[in-house]
Amino acid sequence: MLIAIIETGAPPPLLQKRFGFYPDMMARMLAPLAPGFRYKTYPLVEGAPFPAVSSIDGAIITGSPYGVYEDHEWLGPLEGFIRDMAAAGKPNVGVCFGHQAMAKAFGGHVVKSDKGWGAGVHDYEVRREEDWMRPAARRLSCVVSHQDQVVAPPLGARVIAGSDFTPYGALAYAQGPAISFQMHPEFDADFSAALFRAREGRMPAETVEAALESLAKPTDRRLIAEWIVNFYHLSGRLS
């Protein structure tokens, strides 16, 4: 199965040599659970073209420092790609910015939240069970790093997980085989700690401190990765 990694941004420059880029993290997350998968990266912010939908088996859209409501020439085509994948029945996954872009592409609404930064390990209640969510879970814990949020999901979207801080934390879409997560299952604790320290001055000091302290908690990043792999396999067979 060939998975297109749609790269929509990069980590802070000082972290890139040590940790790599977001597509590297995505591949490291999925590889132990899906040894037969192959990956090809499409760096949109560098002007790369989108893959032909017919040439790939699935896609995953990375996080980004950009907002889906900003004016970037690749954002409109990204929304078109998301809709084309759904129309073709090809499984597509969005993470953080990818979650927001997917929701917007299908008709939802995204804003910079007046709740401020979500940072560190956040807890979510699982609100709906789908066939790819195996093993099942009632709650999820995962690292987050975001200011923007989906505040109105698209018509027909199913809320998979949410919290008081992020009510629409994970969605599945009616338009086609597409799911998205506000959280970052591809971020391990070491990268997360380095990222939050790099954002000192951009985030309030108390937010950084709380985020760093939260990293001692166990997370369900592997479980979310399992769900993503299951989703590719189940949706890929149906497309």
Q: How far apart are CA 175 and CA 100, in angstroms?
A: 15
Place of tokens 């900003």: 70
* Mean pLDDT for the stretch of residues 191-211: 95
Residue ranges making up the domain that contains 92: 2-238
Residue 237 confidence (pLDDT): 61
* pLDDT tens per residue across span 7-34: 999 999 999 999 999 999 999 999 999 9
| Partners of 42 in beta bridges | 6
List the CATH number of the domain containing 144. Answer: 3.40.50.880
Q: Where are the alpha helices (DSSP H) in 6-59?
A: 13-19, 22-30
Task: Give me the number of domains the chain comprises.
Answer: 1
Place of tokens 């790819």: 132
Q: How far apart are CA 100 and CA 82, in angstroms?
A: 12
**Cut 0.85: pTM above it:** yes
Instruction: Give the sign of the dihedral formed by CA 91, CA 97, CA 101, CA 107.
Output: positive
* pLDDT tens per residue across span 60-113: 999 999 999 999 999 999 999 999 999 999 999 999 999 999 999 999 999 999
